[in-house]
């Protein structure tokens, strides 16, 4: 156990990108814009999730948008760390070919992690169901 990790927490150091591979992240501004403009939304208490099916590829690509209105850099980075961990624990592979953008609300800073994890898991389940229901060519 690492001296930096609290008792009972998994030691994630040294995993070299295995926990969140680059192929599973949404990185380009154009991709974020496309999801916002053409995608669908799922609302929950602490997060809003935007999603859009991709024409090619496999698996979910996830990105986060945490604006300055949600707090200073320390608070925003803490929110992103919590969300990344919730996504890591909720993700099933390979899943549908879909781009996902998660927008947290200010409450993400303080809400219990189990609640956040449940919301992310539920959002991913809704996305999987919607993608299974709609034809591949749409989106």
pLDDT of residue 96: 84
Question: Are the CB atoms for 117 and 86 separated by under 8 Å?
Answer: yes
Tell whether 82 is covered by a domain.
yes
Mean pLDDT of 99-105: 96
Distance CA 116, CA 113 (A): 5
Distance CA 109, CA 46 (A): 10
Structure tokens at 27: 């990185």
**Max avg pLDDT among 2-6, 52-56, 115-119, 133-137:** 115-119
Tell whether 66 is covered by a domain.
yes
pLDDT of residue 7: 55
Tell whether 13 is covered by a domain.
no
Structure tokens at 80: 């992103």
Virtual torsion, Cα 13, 31, 124, 71, nearest 10 deg? 60
Tell whether 125 is covered by a domain.
yes
pLDDT of residue 136: 61
Tell whether 101 is covered by a domain.
yes
Domain that residue 113 falls in: 22-130
Tell whether 77 is covered by a domain.
yes
Q: Quote the pTM value.
A: 0.81
Give exposure, 49-73, as e/b (b: 16+ Cβ within 10 Å): bbbbbbeeeebbbbbbbbeeebeee
pLDDT of residue 139: 46
Q: How far is CA 13 from the centre of its chain?
A: 21
Tell whether 5 is covered by a domain.
no
CATH number for 72: 3.30.230.10
Indicate the number of domains in the chain.
1
């Amino acid at each position: 156990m690492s001296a930096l990790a609290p008792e009972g927490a998994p030691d994630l150091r040294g995993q070299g990108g295995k926990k969140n591979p680059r192929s599973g992240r949404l990185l380009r501004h154009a991709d974020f814009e496309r999801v916002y403009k053409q995608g669908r939304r799922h609302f929950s208490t602490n997060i809003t999730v935007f999603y859009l099916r991709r024409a090619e590829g496999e698996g979910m690509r996830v990105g986060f948008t945490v604006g300055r209105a949600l707090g200073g850099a320390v608070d925003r980075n803490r929110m992103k760390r919590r969300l990344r961990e919730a996504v890591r624990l909720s993700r099933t592979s390979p899943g549908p070919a879909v781009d996902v953008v998660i927008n947290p609300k200010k409450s993400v800073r303080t809400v219990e992690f189990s609640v956040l994890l449940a919301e992310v898991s539920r959002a991913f389940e809704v996305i999987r169901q919607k993608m299974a229901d709609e034809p591949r060519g749409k989106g």
